[in-house]
Structure 1
Amino acid sequence: MAKYSEKRWLANDGMPMHAVRWQPDVEPIMTVCLIHGLGEHSGRYKDMVEYYTSCGVEIVSFDLRGHGKSGGQRGHSADFQQMIRDIKCFIDEVSNIDVAKPWFIYGHSLGATLTIQYALSHPIGFKGVVLSSPLFKPAFEPAKWKLLLGRLVQTGWPTLSLSNEINEVALCRDKEILKSRAEDSLIHHRISARLGIQMLSEGEQLLRKASEVDFPVLLMHGDADAITSHTASTIFSERVGQQCRLKIWQGFYHELHHEPEKEKVFEYGLNWMKRELQRL
């Protein structure tokens, strides 16, 4: 049984934040810093946490600003780079990661976009990065009126809140997970004009910057993902080159960690991290 703890902390701009930590009952072989996706929170990774901690892996995470138990308007950040600063503050000062031991960063969806941006700007310390269903491009065409509105108001009215356009049924094929999500009071379905436009811009920028990646990356995506584009992930992987291992899961939806075959995903990710440690 993993030891669970919570911590309240303040980001560098004073925003109250919520952090969590799961420690295995043995000396951990590594630590994984988990960055969650849009509209959710760190508590939605129970199955992944149970699998990893049973294998001797420590998991640390926090709720992004505007999400979960952290402060801020739901689905809003005044600056995408502030969210990167939140990750740095968490890793450096809050997470209790033992930097003398190996650690990895694992990001899902929006969290994967944040993770790779953080890794590019702070490429020291971690042993590798795992990207789950990253948002380089949406798998659907966003409503043109929303894009136009977002661009028009992101400066004058950046906090304007809109639907995040996430189709709940497209998240995973496990109906019990979808039911529990619908009953989760910490889940929200909003995104601000500023964050929405910046999120799309950051994804496009990452596709252009992919060749700058010089650290190990595991990129996993389902080819039935109707939320983020697995085709864009393939392009990103090709541009990174040998440093990136691409795994396309046939028939899988967006939340790989909630699919009926999720243990295969957990095992694949853990084995990749173990192989990276052996290469050092």
Structure 2
Amino acid sequence: MDLRGRGNSDGERFYVEAFEDYVRDVEAVTADVKLREPGLPMFLLGHSAGGVVACLYTLDHEAELTGLICESFAHELPAPDFALAVFKGLSHVAPHAHILHLPNERFSRDPKVVEAMDNDPLIAHETQPTQTMAAMVRADERLKKEFPLITLPALILHGTLDKNTKPSGSQHFYDMAGSTDKTLKLYEGGFHDLLNDIDKDSVIVDIKSWIDRHIPVAAGPRASTVRV
């Protein structure tokens, strides 16, 4: 799904006041999925900042989910603490200023994927506003305290050469999550977008196998998966 301000969704480009607004977007989508596919187990997959959103959603709606998948989780960013503090400070005086651009070359080792990103008008020149960055920092601060409250099965995936988000953030989530059924997979040499990196096929197989193992027998071989 495209969160507000992203992809083909309405809203100011890449801007959000608080990540709880994104959670409401996910609530709308999951409600629609439950109407269309009643009774099916539901898995929530969050990529990057979507992993932050997925964890926030899980804190409030864990009983509705069968499993949580976080890929390249944006829990820890490769920026010093003072820079994160600057984001929070600037958000009060220039919340709509676009300050952070991530080069597309960081997302995948596949040159065709990078070329496609460069030519996609929806993401080619993506920059993050100060308010969005401050909102993510605040959301991550909350998660750091509340990870032990997440107790459903969790699959956590990260590339070891991810320059956009730190693998140590996924390790911290794995260490602190209250789940007794949790798996951390680190992909050697993997970049930020594992599902569009050169080893994507093995990542997809790992995700599918994990979902298959966690579908309740009574539900049969089908499940709903929402990606944010």
CA distance, structure 1, for counterparts of residue 200 and residue 23 of structure 2: 28
CA distance, structure 1, for counterparts of residue 141 and residue 32 of structure 2: 31
In structure 2, the residue matched to 1:154 is 91
CA distance, structure 2, for counterparts of residue 120 and residue 220 of structure 1: 19
Q: 2:43 aligns with which of 104, 113, 120?
A: 104
In structure 2, the residue matched to 1:222 is 159
Name stretches of at least 5 consecutive residues in structure 1 with no aligned partner. Answer: 1-61
CA distance, structure 2, for counterparts of residue 94 and residue 185 of structure 1: 29
How many angstroms does 1:102 deviate by? 1.7
CA distance, structure 2, for counterparts of residue 80 and residue 157 of structure 1: 18
How many angstroms does 1:194 deviate by? 1.3
Mapping for residues 70-81 of structure 1, pairs under 5 Å: 70-81=9-20
How many angstroms does 1:238 deviate by? 1.2
Which gives a bigger RCO, structure 1 or 2 (Cα 8 Å, sep 6+)? Answer: 2
Name stretches of at least 5 consecutive residues in structure 2 with no aligned partner. Answer: 219-228
More helix by share: 2
- Aligned-residue sequence identity (percent) comes to 24
Q: 2:176 aligns with which of 239, 263, 266?
A: 239
In structure 2, the residue matched to 1:202 is 139
Would the aligned equivalents of 1:219 and 1:233 in 2 still touch at CA under 8 Å?
yes
Q: 2:2 aligns with which of 35, 38, 63?
A: 63
Q: In structure 1, the residue corresponding to 2:215 is in which secondary structure?
A: helix
How many angstroms does 1:94 deviate by? 6.5
TM-score, length of structure 1 as denominator length: 0.71
Q: 1:115 aligns with which of 54, 75, 78?
A: 54
In structure 2, the residue matched to 1:132 is 71
In structure 2, the residue matched to 1:165 is 101
Deviations 1:12-38 (A, max 9, x none): xxxxxxxxxxxxxxxxxxxxxxxxxxx
Q: 1:177 aligns with which of 113, 137, 140?
A: 113
How many angstroms does 1:146 deviate by? 7.5
Q: 1:277 aligns with which of 206, 215, 224?
A: 215
Would the aligned equivalents of 1:172 and 1:178 in 2 still touch at CA under 8 Å?
yes
CA distance, structure 2, for counterparts of residue 206 and residue 146 of structure 1: 16
Structure 1 position 253 matched with structure 2 position 191? yes
Aligned pair count reads 216
Mapping for residues 23-102 of structure 1, pairs under 5 Å: 62-93=1-32, 96-102=35-41
Q: Evaluate the alpha carbon distance shift between residue 67 and residue 93 of structure 1 in structure 2; reply closer, same or farther with a 3 A threshold.
A: same
In structure 2, the residue matched to 1:192 is 129
Would the aligned equivalents of 2:49 and 2:74 in 1 still touch at CA under 8 Å?
yes
CA distance, structure 2, for counterparts of residue 111 and residue 67 of structure 1: 12
How many angstroms does 1:165 deviate by? 3.2
Would the aligned equivalents of 2:42 and 2:66 in 1 still touch at CA under 8 Å?
yes
In structure 1, the residue matched to 2:150 is 213
Would the aligned equivalents of 1:219 and 1:245 in 2 still touch at CA under 8 Å?
yes
Would the aligned equivalents of 2:102 and 2:126 in 1 still touch at CA under 8 Å?
yes
How many angstroms does 1:160 deviate by? 2.4
Would the aligned equivalents of 2:16 and 2:135 in 1 still touch at CA under 8 Å?
no
CA distance, structure 2, for counterparts of residue 175 and residue 142 of structure 1: 30
How many angstroms does 1:192 deviate by? 1.6
CA distance, structure 2, for counterparts of residue 130 and residue 145 of structure 1: 28
How many angstroms does 1:108 deviate by? 0.4
Would the aligned equivalents of 1:84 and 1:118 in 2 still touch at CA under 8 Å?
yes
CA distance, structure 2, for counterparts of residue 205 and residue 67 of structure 1: 23
CA RMSD of superposed structures (Å):
2.1
CA distance, structure 1, for counterparts of residue 217 and residue 155 of structure 2: 15
